[in-house]
Amino acid sequence: MKKAALVSIAAYAPQKILTNAELEKMVETSDEWIVKRTGIHSRHIAEDESLTSMALKAGKLALERSGLEKNEIDCLICATVTPDFFCMPSTAAQVASELGLGSIMAFDISAACSGFVYLLEVAKSLVESGAKKNVLIIGADKFSSIVDYSDRSICVLFGDGAGAGVVSVASSDNHIIATHCASDGSKGELLMTPKDGRNVGFVKMSGNEVFKIAVNTLTNDVVELLEKSGIASSQIDLFIPHQANLRIIKAVQERLGLSEAKCVVTVGEYGNTSAASIPMAMNTAYEDGRLKAGSLILLDAFGGGFTWGSALLRFGR
Ligand code: ACO
């Protein structure tokens, strides 16, 4: 049977940086509270940039890094919960067109912060079934468009960005070993964007409850995936979790018995960028040389829906 591999990774963060000091002037908060409770120092904000333009920049770089020609990409999928357009057109169709990929299959998925892991599972299935050869996947979110900047419990947490990769038919032992994606809609109201008539409201979260569920779900999920794959946590080269809160990341890392050096943390600089968070963290590790072809990596995500998922893979061609 064919195997699928994640052959490239890339990301884009908008230029404008919103620091904790700036937030102190906007709401009743402090740098000390934000850093202690979340580990976040700053977040990037797309002022005049659209979600599509961020997705386009990350997607273009992922395509270049894959070494493939435009006409070799036969599918583009974008994960986002903050698209520029309501319902249609999809971000994926817009990006495919702007990248000059021709009339390929292009569609969006909605899985909040678990978006990139969901994308990996969908792209893996498409490639392994033989339906597609090279799938460009993009996780992008512009939470600044749904964040209430007078709500201190939310505005300190989120940032904007995009991350992308290409999933292709594997040509070596480097491939996606296993993915697991799941959901529980019964807890949807704990993290949601309420809709009032025709208007979509600001994101609301019961942070404390989400925190506890996130830690337990994330830990159980990766432990199960490692067991099923017959891989010990000590074999992992890099653990790249969803970047929502440093305390959640540390709790899962410690329960897995992994050293700090093996855990990629970017939440301090970017905050929570939802579907972009995992690929942005992967890109940081790629650009600083920690993530190499053949690295065995474990991804772990949790987000609104609730949705969650994990993936185990050897990166690169
Ligand atoms: N500055 C100062 N004080 C604040 C702030 C702030 N920015 N925000 C809240 N507080 C106050 C609260 O009002 C509360 O005050 P009180 O005790 O007088 O009532 C106190 O701080 C404690 O608030 P908690 O909400 O209990 O703080 P907690 O330690 O739980 O941290 C946080 C909050 C950071 C949101 C945490 O709960 C968290 O990270 N939750 C999970 C987030 C997550 O993983 N989300 C899933 C992915 S996101 C997605 O899918 C889109």
Q: What would the pLDDT profile of 63-107 be if each residue is shown by its tens digit?
A: 999 999 999 999 999 999 999 998 899 999 999 999 999 999 999
Angle among Cα 3, 294, 264 to the nearest 5 degrees reads: 110
For residue 177, give the amino acid letter: I
Please tell me the distance between residue 207's alpha carbon and the centre of ligand 1 in angstroms.
5
Q: Are 253 and 263 in contact (CB under 8 A)?
A: yes
Calpha distance 25→5 (Å, rounded) = 46
Judge if 4-169 and 176-314 fold alike in CATH terms: yes
176-314 topology per CATH: Peroxisomal Thiolase; Chain A, domain 1 (3.40.47)
Residues touching ligand 1 (Cβ under 6 Å) are: 29, 33-34, 37-38, 112-113, 152-153, 156-157, 191, 207-208, 210-211, 214, 244-245, 248, 272, 274, 302-304
Question: Taking phi first (over 0 means left), then psi (-120 to 50 degrees means alpha), and beta for anything else, what does residue 315 get?
Answer: beta
Integer-rounded Cα radius of gyration of the chain = 18
Q: Which residues of the chain have pLDDT under 50?
A: none
- Please state whether the predicted TM-score (pTM) of the whole model is above 0.85: yes
Beta bridge partners, 312, equal 178, 298
Instruction: Give the pLDDT of residue 195.
Output: 85
Closest atom of ligand 1 to CA, residue 141: 51
Pocket test for ligand 1, best of 110, 211, 221, 252 (most atoms within 8 A of CB): 211
Instruction: Give the pLDDT of residue 199.
Output: 79
Instruction: Give the pLDDT of residue 96.
Output: 98
Instruction: Give the pLDDT of residue 203.
Output: 95
Instruction: Give the pLDDT of residue 150.
Output: 96
Please tell me the distance between residue 13's alpha carbon and the centre of ligand 1 in angstroms.
24
Task: Show me where the domains of the chain are located.
Answer: 4-169, 176-314
Instruction: Give the pLDDT of residue 284.
Output: 98
Q: Which CATH number fits domain 4-169: 3.40.47.10, 3.90.550.10, 3.40.50.720, 3.40.50.150?
A: 3.40.47.10
Per DSSP, the residues of 110-149 read --GGGHHHHHHHHHHHHHHTTS-SEEEEEEEEEGGGT--T
Strands (E), 110-247: 134-142, 160-169, 176-183, 191-192, 195-196, 199-200, 204-205, 238-241
